[in-house]
Structure 1
Amino acid sequence: MDLQAQVQFLIDNAPQDGITPQLVAAIAPELIKIAQQLRFPEYYILQNLEHDWVLTTLSHRTNPRQLRQVIYAYPTLQDVSTTSGVGLDPQMIAAPMGVIEILFQTIALEPVDSIIFFNIPGTTANAVEIKRSQLQTIIQRSLQQNRPSPNIPPNIA
């Protein structure tokens, strides 16, 4: 599914609360810009059986007490099984998701520091890390510049 179709899917499936579809439409250009920096329109996200995304805790090389929570996005199903051991754990599944939905959901995932997109099948080299805080800043700036409706609070991101 192309990026514009992914945005439309998010809008169509957003809660019809009068705010969320407008919010998605307002930030869509920024989400598309970020998604265009990635190689694939869809990635696999490791999830538990309740469909919660699996977080990986990373520690800093020189300061092991400095921790951060990341989510890995894999380009193929084979990459998930070879790098995560998902095939060994019946409590884990790898679900394909559109990159726009991944970015949109990442904005609100409080415990997540970054999402790491692996862009070359068969290797974890050349990954692209997108920090949630950077994503939130981009979205906030976009909403301040192009506020679509008085119903959307300025601090939504």
Structure 2
Amino acid sequence: MDLETQIQLLIDNAPRDGISPHLVTAIAPAFRAIAQQLRHSQYYILQKEGSWVLTTLSHRADPSLEKQVIYAFSTIQDVSLISSAGRDPQVVATPIAVTHILFQLIALEPVDSIVFLETPGTLDHAFEVQRSQLEKTIQRQLKQSLKPKKTSRQIPPDIA
């Protein structure tokens, strides 16, 4: 599914409250910009009992520094590259459109990043999208879309 179709699905599935579809439309360019940097239109996300599986990563030099990430696998076979994956029968890999992953990242408070594993068969090539950076990109996009449009019409000086 191409990016434009994915974004249209996000808009179409937004709550019909008079605001949400317009909001999703306004922030769509932020999702598009990030998704265009990724190699795949969908990724596999590990889920357990309907919730995305979080992985805690510790800093090598300072183990007290941790972050919560979600891995997004480019193929279902790559799930086996993470040692604990596949051992728990309750964990399933679900294909999810890339823009929908980014959209969900906004709401996933405990999650610091989504790590997109870009090259099938290896963990070496990853693209990390930090939630804080995504939020900043969305805020910039909202400010830009809410700016009043400049009109080219000149107001005549003798209007009064």
TM norm. shorter chain > 0.5: yes
Q: Which runs of 5 or more structure 1 residues have no equivalent in the other structure? A: 149-157
Q: Does 1:40 align with 2:40?
A: yes
Any conservation in 1 of the 2:72–2:114 contact (CA below 8 Å)?
yes
Aligned to 1:60: 59
Partner SS, residue 123 of structure 1 = coil
* Alpha-carbon distance, 1:81 to partner: 2.7
- Evaluate the alpha carbon distance shift between residue 10 and residue 84 of structure 1 in structure 2; reply closer, same or farther with a 3 A threshold: farther
Q: For residue 100 of structure 2, what is the amino acid of its counterpart?
A: E
Residue identity in the other structure for 2:4 = Q
C-alpha RMSD of matched pairs (Å):
1.2
Secondary structure at the counterpart of residue 130 of structure 1: strand
Question: How is 1:138-149 mapped onto 2 (pairs within 5 angstroms)?
Answer: 138-147=137-146
Aligned length: 147
Equivalence for 1:107: 106
Pair 1:16 & 2:9 matched? no
4+ residue stretches of structure 1 with deviation over 2 A?
A: 81-87
Q: Which residue of 2 aligns with 1:153?
A: none
TM normalised by structure 2 equals 0.88
Contact 2:81 2:122 in 1 (8 A): no
- Scaled by the length of structure 1, the TM-score of the pair is 0.90
Match of 1:122 in 2: 121
Q: How many angstroms does 1:147 deviate by?
A: 2.2
Residue type of the alignment partner of 2:30: E
Partner residue in 1 for 2:74: 75
Please tell me whether Structure 1 or Structure 2 has the larger radius of gyration of its CA atoms. Answer: 2
Unaligned runs of 5+ residues in structure 2 are 148-160
